[in-house]
Amino acid sequence: MDNALAVDVEALRSRMEGTVAAPGDREYDEVRQAWNLAIDQRPALVAVPATVDEVVEVVNFARERGLRVAPQGTGHNASAIATLDRTVLVKTSALREVEIDAAGRRARVGAGVLWAEVTGPASEHGLAPLAGSSPDVGVVGYTLGGGLSWLGRRHGLAANSVLAIELVTADGRVVRTDRDHEPELFWALRGGGGSFGIVTAMEFVLYPAPEVYAGAMLWPWEQATEVLKAYVAWCRTAPDAISTSARLLQVPPLPEIPEPVRGRQFVAIDGAYLGSAEAAAEVLAPLRALEPEIDMFAPVPAAALSHIHMDPEHPVPAHGDGMILDDLTPAAIEALVRVAGPGSGSPLLMVELRQLGGAFATPPAEHGALAKMSGSFAFFAVGMVMDEAMGAAVAAHVDHVIDTMDPWDAGRRYLNFTERPSDPGAFFPEGTLRRLQAVKRAYDPADVFRANHPVT
Ligand SMILES: Cc1cc2nc3c(=O)[nH]c(=O)nc-3n(C[C@H](O)[C@H](O)[C@H](O)COP(=O)(O)OP(=O)(O)OC[C@H]3O[C@@H](n4cnc5c(N)ncnc54)[C@H](O)[C@@H]3O)c2cc1C
């Protein structure tokens, strides 16, 4: 950092309660860390604003010095950011307020809030947000990218249940957008990603979830072909009240993992049914007929939905990537099992088929940039990266798996399941991308904001 900038940084620091750290500062290594520990982010500066006013300070500071600004909540998707050269990484982790309006069935959260901080208190009122499978994914980053939740086949993408978004724009204004205020910006933010400003707060719908039947079924992965073929056939007629995922899982031999699954390999189906245990049992009967070794489906409070997928609840080093798949033929299942199942030598922790269709496939009357999810499954392949050699093996195998599934590619990528720098044309139809780019030009003509998945 040159001397003039160092003096300016000192001045910025003196105006902020939150942290500002430059390379060489004591806190720099701690605050630059992403949730994905495999990513070594080295921005020009890291800022952790304590208030919305401090977000404005940081944006003005960066813009006036020709620096770019990368907003980040947790860094779950940090691997997709192409570079942080001449960039201020703005961590929103201190903006942590959560308000639950149970009577109005809505929540308002600060940009640093994690899903578990909403699902817990909402569940006490028999309500649930359209949260993802993991308790510690950030509400804002997830929702800006679309948001596939366990309630999604009933209620659609999380982005399309957003009621209002507050953000700091490139010119340092604090803007509140909703269907009546700056509607083009509101449209772009709902599924178009983090290119348009730093979101400081978001308001969204909470749905009634008084009765939820959820959990997982596991079979030894030697049964993968049989179970996955039956699963894909079952998905074709499953009601919208159920949202599920099927995985080939290689559970690590870690001491904190319960003994019955530790170090073993499974084919697993998990998910949630919105309704009574009796109705759920009927829907799940064809899967139960396959006689799972472990069956943990049961009536649960809505808050439990953050844990049924057994996602890591703390930062981990990982490498993954995804795609959207069409309906899968028996040959597709066989190809997947060959490359990621028994005998494949796969180093991956899991490959996943997340069930789409239902309300995911139907654009609601008022929707954002991501109107719907085409295709039958959101696919994701991921492995742990404990060292360089493992990283190389995992990266090569993720590519191999994605190439293998190419014949069933539905033709689009999904922002949240894409963990590498990608062409914006991969995510959106041409007309949608042009409209997003027009919003970007209107609100951020100098391209101050650097998203993980930029629209330009
Ligand atoms: C274990 C795990 C489980 C997951 N489960 C699901 C799931 O069930 N469903 C699903 O849809 N996805 C899921 N994901 C993907 C997840 O939604 C994406 O990784 C998402 O981008 C994470 O958001 P974040 O804010 O936590 O991450 P970040 O990496 O902090 O944010 C991602 C991007 O969002 C933008 N952004 C974040 N905060 C702001 C802000 N305040 N203002 C402007 N832009 C911002 C930025 O462009 C940023 O680069 C999962 C990921 C993991 C690792």
Question: What amino acid is encoded at 323 in this protein?
Answer: M
Question: What amino acid is encoded at 132 in this protein?
Answer: G
Pocket lining: 214 vs ligand 1, CB cutoff 6 Å: no
Dmax (CA) for the chain in angstroms is 70
What is the whole-number distance in angstroms between the Cα of residue 446 and the centre of ligand 1?
24
What is the whole-number distance in angstroms between the Cα of residue 339 and the centre of ligand 1?
28
Pocket lining: 161 vs ligand 1, CB cutoff 6 Å: no
Most informative mutation of 134, 161, 453 for ligand 1 (most atoms within 8 A of CB): 134
Contact (CB, 8 A) for 449 and 69: yes
The vertex-345 CA angle with 342 and 349, nearest 5°, equals 80
Most informative mutation of 142, 155, 419 for ligand 1 (most atoms within 8 A of CB): 142
Most informative mutation of 33, 119, 137, 174 for ligand 1 (most atoms within 8 A of CB): 137
Look at strands 174-177 and 19-21 and give their pairing.
unpaired
Residue closest to 276 by CA, chosen among 214, 201, 228, 337: 214
Question: Could you read off the pLDDT tens digit of each residue along the chain, which spans 456 residues?
Answer: 777 788 899 999 999 999 999 999 999 999 999 999 999 999 999 999 999 999 999 999 999 999 999 999 999 999 999 999 999 999 999 999 999 999 999 999 999 999 999 999 999 999 999 999 999 999 999 999 999 999 999 999 999 999 999 999 999 999 999 999 999 999 999 999 999 999 999 999 999 999 999 999 999 999 999 999 999 999 999 999 999 999 999 999 988 888 889 999 999 999 999 999 999 999 999 999 999 999 999 999 999 999 999 999 999 999 999 999 999 999 999 999 999 999 999 999 999 999 999 999 999 999 999 999 999 999 999 999 999 999 999 999 999 999 999 999 999 999 999 999 999 999 999 999 999 999 999 999 999 999 999 999
Alpha-carbon distance of 392 to 89, in angstroms, equals: 27
For the whole model, what pTM was predicted? 0.98
Q: How far apart are the first and last CA of the chain?
A: 28
Instruction: Please report which helix (H) or strand (E) contains residue 265, including its range.
Output: strand 265-274
Instruction: Please report which helix (H) or strand (E) contains residue 230, including its range.
Output: helix 224-235
C-alpha radius of gyration, the chain, whole number: 22
Q: Ligand 1: which atom is nearest the Cα of residue 197?
A: 43
